Structure 1
Amino acid sequence: MTKVAAVATGLAFAASILSLAPVAQAASLTSAQVSSILSMLSAFGADSATIANVNNALTGAPVTPGTGTPATGGACNVGTADLTIGSSGAAVTSLQTALIAGGYAIPAGATGYFGTQTQNAVAAWQKAANIAPAVGYFGPISRAAFNLCTPVVVTPPGGTTPPGTTPPSTGLTGSAGSVESYTAISGLSNEEVGESEEVEIAGMEVKADDNSDLELTAVRLDFSTQPGNSDLEDFVTEVNVLLDGKVYATVDAADFNNDNSWTRTVSLDPGAIIRKGDTKDLTVSVKGVNNVDTDDAGDNWALDFISVRYEDAQGASITDTVTYTPVTWNVNTFATAEGVELKVSSGDEDINQAHVINVDATSDTNGVDILSFNLEAKGSDIVIDDFPVNFDTTGTADDPADVINTVYLFADGEEVASETVTGAGDSDDNETITFDNIDFTVKKGDKVAMLVKADFNDVDTTLVEGDTISAQVSATERNAIVADDSSGEQIADADATGTAVGEAHVVYDIGIQATFVSATETMTPGADGTADDDTVTLKLVFDVEAFDGTVYVSDFSTATTAADGAVSAIDVDDGGILYRYEIDGTATVSLMADTVAKSDVTGSVVDTPTNGANAGEFTFEDGEKARITVTVTRSNAAAETLSDGYHDMQLVAIGWSVTAEDDTMNVYEFNLDDFKTDPIFAN
């Protein structure tokens, strides 16, 4: 801010010279500031003679009279067209240059393009100029009121006002005046400042009385009110004083130190004016250091306003002692201050729930979906570098490499990484594979659909039918993710949340797939309508399809009290379609009769009701599909107290085999959660 003010002063001084105003001696500028002014004049198109005269004036050398025009006038033509987002050209450049010189920040500089930074600067100027609404649209009202282009006549130190000019007015109107009230801004308290972030931490509403405009000239600040901290510069780099969003002073944080008890008076640049009867926000902001020490992060500081000095329209200088309750603030890491979070959550349940994966006897089966999950970034863009996924096998396979050979990571349908699975036969059925150096960015606020695919070995190598494999991102894998936020800091374990756990998928070369179709339930009241003699009929309908060979499925059903996943083997003679009948959540096998019916969907599935001494079974050829209906009827008995309640039925397992009359059939129990009826009341 000091440099901007100096350059603005130099430009105003140069304007005096360019308008032939005689100058007695040079303004006290540094050589760097003189160079900045000359460069600016050159950029504005001033001729070489004019630039030479300005240089002489600024360095104390004799000035040759000329016929130039004020630099500020020629350099600040905001045109006649309205300016807003998307506008561009010389008028925008002039507007930006004037705003910057006037102390309104545009970080990108005078680019000639009207973007959000310029909009914010215009809005701040409009607010300071009492133009409503202060939304950053530069239209006719703003053009008429814009005063940052007016040439300023400067009287050099020790000199006199140039002939034909009037000394600049203070701009204050009224009589003797004072501040009517100071009111703390309640919304500025316990502020958290992020690394390299500028945040307003405290402030007051200052109301001028109705007698005079007031110009604030200094504020005394105290950073010593919070014990335990001593080096403010370890936390912030600078302290700014603002009036209605415009910066009027910037000082180094190191200027508040032990030598002055972290208290000092900060002088404000000219123009911090509150018109009579108006109220403006006097605030203090700080800018966090680039990399706060972990031992310092989160430590509290506090700020107190001690006094405010101002002048009224009669030129009286007044200092008010302010009653203000110190407010607490702290500097924290970027992640903490911005609420950075990388969230893992489960995705498509059809992929994650246990199901049968059809593999091949002699060829690999590639690109099989085995885990679906989401990644969501909060508070910042997050760049993923390393991402681990755990794989677990059961059965004959003693290592994931016995089942799969390559895994892939996809983001929103695009492959971002792949890894080879090694270690077949290592007798380690659990392995974590890390997709490394993927350099994938999850944008702030976005949720990205992630997918893990795998290439499965063929049965003739190391894969054994009936083995299972699962994939998961548990808390262990989540905490091992290597990722950075937009400040370059690595995401801490505490800033990563959630899990995605897939169920165990079974692999077969020949087998069945079952698909739910429908469920119905009915109740027939008993003879008198009061005794426990109602009849309940529950019906499940589902399709069974064979793949890659001939399959035998039991053709009759039986009740079981076994829980989901608790069936390990099925004897075809005992009823190969298992269901669980519950009354108010308690399984029962009494007072029930059941039937199984079949209708062909594709092909012609053979039903052999009995097979010698063995129970009957359906014979499916490769690709044949049949619709199976299991109907269970329960006639309640008055003597059974369990009868009263809600009745429902759940399919638990389907017995199948590649061998006829098999006493130890395979168990199909995958993804059967939907194979159930709704509860129905009976007594």
Structure 2
Amino acid sequence: MSLATKHVATVLVGSVLVLALSFAFVTPAKADLLSDLQAQVQALLAQISALSGSSTPSTGAGCYAFTTTHQQGQSGGEIMWIQKFLNSHGAQVAASGAGSPGNETSYYGALTKAGVAKWQAANGVAPAAGYWGPITRAKVATVCAGSVTPGVPGVPGTPVTGNGLKVMLASDSPPSTSLVQGQAIGDLAHFTFSNPTGSEVTVTSLGFKRIGASSDSTITNVYLFNGGARITDSAGISNSAFTFNDTAGIFKIAAGGSVTISVRADILSTANGQQVGVQLVSVGSPAALDTSVVLPISGAVHLISSAALGTVAFTYTGPSNATDNPTNDNRVFEASTVVSTHSVWLKALSFEDRGSDNDGDLKNFRLLIDGVQVGSTVTQAVSQRITFDLTANPKKLETGTRIIKVVADIVGGSGETYDVQIRRAADVLAVDSELGQPILSTDAGGSFPVSAATANNVGAASLSVVRKGDSPTDNIAVGATNVLIARYEVRAAGENVKIEALTASTTVAGQTSYGIDNGKVFLNGAQIGSTQDIAQGGTEFTFGSSFIARQGLIEILEIYGDAAHTDGTDYANTNTVLVGVAIAAANTQGVNSGNTVTAISNTVGNTRTISSSSLTMTKYSGYGDQTMVAGTNNARIGAFTISAGSTEGVNVNTITVSLSTNESASVTDLMLKDNATGVQLGTTKVSPAAGAGGNSFSVNFSVPVSGAKTIDVYANIKSGANAGPIAIEVDGSGTGAVTAQTVTFGSSSTGTLQTITVGTGTLTVSRDSGTPTNSNVIAGVTSIHVGKFDFAAVNSAYTVQELKVKVPADAATSVSNVTLKYKNSAGVEQTITQALALSSTAQTHATATFTGLTFYVPQNDSADVDVYVDVPTISSGAKSGAAVSVLLDGDEGFKAIDGAGNSDTTLAGSATDVNSASNSGYGTKYVRKTIPTLARLSTGYTANTVTSGIGLFRFTMTADAAGSVDWREISFAVSTSGMDAGDQLIDWTLYDVTGSTVAVNSAVANATVSPYVISICPDTSCTIGEAQTIGAGSTKTYELRAGTVTGWADSGDAVTINFAEDPAAINNAAASSLFSVYNMVWSDRSANSHTTATTDWTNGLLVKDMDNDVRSCQFGTVTSCTP
């Protein structure tokens, strides 16, 4: 295209643009919402694109050094350049709108994928799948050979490699969007500056150019931001150019770091229809730019529209010309803020302190909106600015009046001023919630800044001294030296305060003349000034310049001394000491102002009591009087606790144990042990001596201040010891841990320990309540828990070494092995198994004899032994119906050894066996080849209906996988109430509804009186007919129906149905002998050539789950039934 042609095209495009804008933004078409604006932008850009279209581009148009793989769904990176390439190489992404020439975006959507696929197909890239990968990029490189411009100008993404300062369009730089005329700080572009070097880089100058169809006046103010913080004042624009300069650095980039800067501008209120963007044209820095950086770098061009933005107006209501002494939580700014038209999202708010104070004089700034803190606390101002960046969690301000307040801690600046204000409208990033653009805030009282009429004053410096909360209160030992007597907190506010001297004074109750020997003053853990006696009338300690109380910090002041008069004489037990400090105004000086501060009057610590060291001995409450058997070794014959007082800890060096003549004759090997660790203290007295103080133990342990230690006394009790009591006496001594004063404890009156009676031990055995309940068990199963037995030991521990377990002879062939489980003295579970033996048919029980047991029963405690059995299969000898219970033999095969080595050979002291089945319902297992399981169903009913011929009770019967089950009878308890004399529920039939519906009983079943039991027998009757069979592991579903239902539907009518249970166990028998007596008759088919006549039938006792089976229906105004 010739130069003349270019000029003509430019004029034509400009003219059409003006006409298009004139028609696109006439008053009736003004947009009130962001969606309308965006639609208008896209339409206008499409017109511009059509008007400015050219002939087929040259080979180099849209070319770029592509390095990144992209696919559908991604954003950023090189996607905008991919679209530019496609639009200029015959694979246009879109004719108009997003992706069209001049409207390329950074999103790889379906249109981009289609364009890539089209270009791939046209250029021989296979597969033509729309994936921008290495093959496609290689082909593009050949097409663009020689025409690719180095660098990455204007493309969002990761900075290219290199060694200097890198600059690029940021990945989050805003794409083309709609700005609104009259708005504040519109977001034009973001630029990322990366520092790959090992040193900090400072950027001192940035030059920009305004781009787009607009004029310099379109931008009324332009600023640089870092996140939500404004970092520059507005730059002036001339001939489209504007520059930011700061020799100290506009911003700094840490070594290996990066900084993203945004360019934001206030938009002219009459700029409707113009286009504006920015282009970075120069970067000034002491560091060199990387060679890969090509300037200029352009951001997107944004269209300016007309819309009704919301408004935010501030009216300052905070302090003005106030004088605030240094304190916390001072109100330093407040404004009544009126939000109108639309609610806004407050994303950032910056303040500037324009007073004469320094950055560190005000600290801990907190932003409160309507009394609630918003955002994080800002520690202190930086270069007088305080920014609350809320971009991560914006605060929505609804329309109406909001109170915005800032509070801070005034810690310095005595005699200076502070003036916290919103300096410029650009310091308020408040985004219209509907239009999505920042609002130009106003000062309702005039123009910015929003500030006090007169700066506020920081009051004079101050000093405070208070007793610290942890100033000691405990007693001071007699003769103690270098004791911390009192602790204080010293605070300076307004400025640092030098304290040149203080006066320490003391009062000692119980003394007419007094003082503190060797007084010392410590500041923050280090001594300042010289060591001096603290005189009765007070002593001045001087510090020169070593005591500076720093503003805003807490200094810790401590007074040390000896518990003695100034002449070195120790204070007596029960004397009390009180120390105070005072600071004269003349001994203070403000470091900055040179002024004195208000004097500190005498501030006292806590009253401290002088106390002698002490040890108290008491009988250990955790160990009571005992009865032990003669011959017990390592017997714990006493326990006591030694407690130290609150004055100081004590080092115990001697413990004396006194025994009477009888006591010394009854024990050997007397020793002491630490209760907590079990470690022996001192040496063992093999032959303890009789008499007071006869057994002295040299020990070495410490009892801390206000602490305690428990000591146990052990001995062996001789086998021939008398049955009389043992009650030893203990005393001892030690020295104070600090003062080394001698301390004693215990005596014949206070040191007597527990009474130990030498007696006899007993061991009793009973069936434990944890014995399992009766149940059916399947032959061939091992480790069936049958019994649990409790052994209780009194006065001595016992070890059971032998036990004999008995099983009724009738069940002997049904038990192959018996197993015991118990715990030994170490608490470890032991398991031992023995075979069951039956020596002759004349015996009533078979036995399993256990020897070598280590079953341990603790003294005055109990322990359990569990008994398990293995049941063989029916083919291996188990008998169907056998009732297995276990007994511990009372007079044979038992042996237990007590703590003294004595042997007990009768169980529980008698010849009586202990039976697992001694309580009805527990401790018996019935052997079966297989078992049925019943389960009432809660589904499948005609809901809430009682009428003839429908299921009123449904259940399943399941045979265990061990074998098939036959049943010949099952019965149901049916109870009615509320029904009139002529009303009936009769003619009951059970149906097998597993597949098709088949009647089980040929003749209906009936009973005459409610509650009645209906017995259902398969086939013709309960005396004639075949059994129902359920295969191994199979289930059948049954349904009970009443053939005749009359009179139902009166208020109060009710019917309840459940399984009829059998009350007691029976021996197996033929089916015909059982139906008339029992409610359920079933067989495990264990007999050879099983029929209804073989004796392998039993009743329904213990069949599961016949006890969870009730279904009821009632009539009120309608019928309702339980599920």
Q: Which category describes the TM-score, using the shorter chain as reference length?
A: 0.3 to 0.5
Higher Rg of the two aligned structures = 2
Per the normalisation by structure 1, the TM-score is 0.45
Query: Which structure's residues are more often helix, by fraction?
Result: 1
Identify which of structures 1 and 2 has the higher relative contact order when contacts are C-alpha pairs closer than 8 Å and 6+ apart.
1
Per the normalisation by structure 2, the TM-score is 0.30
